[in-house]
Amino acid sequence: MSLRERLERAKTGEKPRPSRWATPRERVARESGATRFGTAGAQTESPVRIHTDSEESSILHPVRTFQEDPHLAVKERIHHRLVKEIEEELVERTASAEDRQRLAKEVESISIKVLDEEPVPLMRSEKVRIITEVIDDVMGFGPITPLLSDETITEIMVNGPYSVYIERGGRIEETSIRFRDADHVMHIIDRIVSPIGRRIDDASPMVDARLPDGSRVNAVIPPISLVGPCITIRKFAREPLTTDDLIRLGTLTPEMVEFLDGAVKARLNIVVSGGTGSGKTTTLNVLSSFIPTDERIVTIEDAAELQLRQEHVVVLEARPPNIEGKGAVTIRGLVRNALRMRPDRIVVGEVRSGEALDMLQAMNTGHDGSMTTGHANSPRDMLSRMETMTLMAGMDLPLRAIREQISSAINLIVHQARLRDGSRKITHLTEVLGMEGDVITMQDIYVFQQTGIDEKGTVIGRFGATGIRPKFLDKFEEAGIKVPPGMFVNYT
């Protein structure tokens, strides 16, 4: 879509109207038999909840009573003027930062002109706010633009036009940010996905995409989403969390870091397991940083998130099919291809499906020291998920053969969880031992035990050894790696 079209589409022409898609509040009311909420602009509980707060900082605090945006009309006038006055040529040339800056300047000066003509003078802070919002609408990602540039925010969740949440410091908060209506959200989704050749419409109502800065985006629109168009953005951390950060955040202890560093250098095959957003990729990134610099690493991901510091790294990224449904490159295809690239280590961002089989085979056939992550609720659950994923490869293998592959391939499961207080902890370091009858055996080596919650809601507990010495310590010895003294002593 050209910027000119964008300008026209971004027009605040329409009056906010109750969306075709109910807000959760509306639905609850409807379901509980309450009368319909007031019309747009009502003081309380209007389905159109557009923020009006004038202090800059308040956009991140929930506003419980919602009002119509009092600046809607003036923004509309600005947009009309922009469409009329901005030169076509300036709008089309936005490739360079300079061009964009010129366009922003132009938008700003036209906005100022319109604002100065307003019969009722506006406060300076209001003017600044209006101009920023207009620029965000025309050139950025609309009302969520400030959230994208705020480094302290790690996740943005748009649940329809009138409900925007963020995650910051591990905690989820509601914001007072509102889109004008469902179409406004749709425009923003379109702006995210169209430059990378994806589309979202009735025929394909779900889409994965990435922002230019690498942030991961997922969008789902009605009729699949019943609350209006949804956007979920996992912000890409320009500076990924480091080992020291994880220690500071209480995810693990220095002792565990030393042990994991040894495990990576001793070439154990490691799976990081955990729930959604538990920090698996972050931990995998930290583990990968322990790989010696003289090794050749091939990384495989759906969307490149890992940020390895080593020099000798080949980064491969899977690709979804194009609009005609052709040209897909799967993680599985990439794992197979990676084996022909003489890797010392294969790091797969996440196993979700049949690639698990290829990964296990790679781990079992000389590509030890490989690492991946997987979605699971416990180390044991990770193993059964592995089984299921291996079956998805469609090779018709007997279950016992699959379990044997799993038990001989994987040495260590690093299980991570997002706790109630939003913190992430490595709750288990679990060794996969082998088979006993038809069952894969495993033992916990290190665990996090929660002992309580303090008055602020912070989880209290301690990391500690179970007292079991892992069998894979012989691999440490072979590689000449020392284990932290006392690492396996249970002090409780």
Ligand X SMILES: Nc1ncnc2c1ncn2[C@@H]1O[C@H](COP(=O)(O)OP(=O)(O)OP(=O)(O)O)[C@@H](O)[C@H]1O
User: Which residues would be at the binding site for ligand X (CB under 6 A)?
Assistant: 154-155, 170, 234, 237, 241, 246, 249, 251, 274, 276-282, 424
In angstroms, what is the minimal distance from the CB of 374 to Mg ion? 10
Phi-psi sector, 102: left (phi>0), alpha (psi -120 to 50), beta: alpha
Which residue's entry shows tokens 């419980």?
A: 64
Does residue 273 interact with Mg ion by CB under 5 A?
no
For residue 223, is the peptide bond before it cis, meaning its omega torsion is within 30 degrees of 0? yes
DSSP 137-154: HHHS-GGGHHHHH-TTEE
Residue among 186 and 419 whose Cβ is closer to ligand X: 419
Residue among 106 and 167 whose Cβ is closer to ligand X: 167
Dihedral angle of Cα 275, 277, 281, 286, to the nearest 10 degrees: -100
Residue among 241 and 453 whose Cβ is closer to ligand X: 241
In angstroms, what is the minimal distance from the CB of 241 to ligand X? 6
Phi-psi sector, 437: left (phi>0), alpha (psi -120 to 50), beta: left
Report whether 370 contacts 345 (CB < 8 A).
yes
Which residues contact residue 173 at a Cβ distance below 8 angstroms, ignoring those fewer than 6 apart? 60, 62, 165, 166, 167
Does residue 283 interact with Mg ion by CB under 5 A?
no
Q: Which stretch binds Mg ion (CB under 5 A): 183-191, 233-241, 275-283, 473-481?
A: 275-283
Question: How does DSSP classify residue 67?
Answer: B
In angstroms, what is the minimal distance from the CB of 80 to ligand X? 40
The SS3 call for residue 372 is: strand
| Residue with smallest beta-carbon separation from ligand X | 279
Q: Measured between alpha carbons, how far is 280 from 350 in angstroms, rounded to an integer? A: 9
Report whether 25 contacts 42 (CB < 8 A).
no
The SS3 call for residue 362 is: helix
In angstroms, what is the minimal distance from the CB of 256 to ligand X? 12
Q: Residues touching Mg ion: how many (CB under 5 A)?
A: 2
Neighbouring CB atoms inside 10 A of 193's CB total: 18
DSSP 222-252: TTT-TTS-EEEEE---SS---HHHHHHTTSS
In angstroms, what is the minimal distance from the CB of 60 to Mg ion? 25
Q: Measured between alpha carbons, how far is 391 from 446 in angstroms, rounded to an integer? A: 30
In angstroms, what is the minimal distance from the CB of 151 to ligand X? 11
In angstroms, what is the minimal distance from the CB of 136 to ligand X? 22
Question: Using CB distances below 5 to 8 A depending on partner kind, what does residue 262 bind out of Mg ion, ligand X, none?
Answer: none
In angstroms, what is the minimal distance from the CB of 221 to Mg ion? 24
Neighbouring CB atoms inside 10 A of 224's CB total: 11
Does residue 281 interact with Mg ion by CB under 5 A?
yes
In angstroms, what is the minimal distance from the CB of 287 to ligand X? 12
Taking the CA atoms of the chain, what radius of gyration do you get in angstroms? 26
Residue among 83 and 237 whose Cβ is closer to ligand X: 237
Question: Using CB distances below 5 to 8 A depending on partner kind, what does residue 72 bind out of ligand X, Mg ion, none?
Answer: none
Question: Using CB distances below 5 to 8 A depending on partner kind, what does residue 278 bind out of ligand X, Mg ion, none?
Answer: ligand X
Question: Using CB distances below 5 to 8 A depending on partner kind, what does residue 435 bind out of ligand X, Mg ion, none?
Answer: none
Query: Going residue by residue from 229 to 268, which x/- string records binding to Mg ion, judged by CB under 5 A?
Result: ----------------------------------------
Question: Using CB distances below 5 to 8 A depending on partner kind, what does residue 249 bind out of ligand X, Mg ion, none?
Answer: ligand X
Residue among 142 and 274 whose Cβ is closer to ligand X: 274
Q: Measured between alpha carbons, how far is 431 from 270 in angstroms, rounded to an integer? A: 10
Q: Which stretch binds Mg ion (CB under 5 A): 154-162, 274-282, 352-360, 433-441?
A: 274-282
Residue among 180 and 280 whose Cβ is closer to Mg ion: 280
Q: Which of 457, 390, 448, 369 is nearest to 416 (CA)?
A: 448
Report whether 176 contacts 59 (CB < 8 A).
yes
Q: Measured between alpha carbons, how far is 219 from 82 in angstroms, rounded to an integer? A: 29
Residue among 114 and 417 whose Cβ is closer to Mg ion: 417
Structure tokens at 223: 């009729």
Q: Measured between alpha carbons, how far is 291 from 315 in angstroms, rounded to an integer? A: 15
Which residue's entry shows tokens 């989403």?
A: 225
Which residues contact residue 190 at a Cβ distance below 8 angstroms, ignoring those fewer than 6 apart? 1, 200
Residue among 178 and 280 whose Cβ is closer to Mg ion: 280
- 372 beta partners: 271, 348
Residues that bind Mg ion (CB under 5 A): 280-281
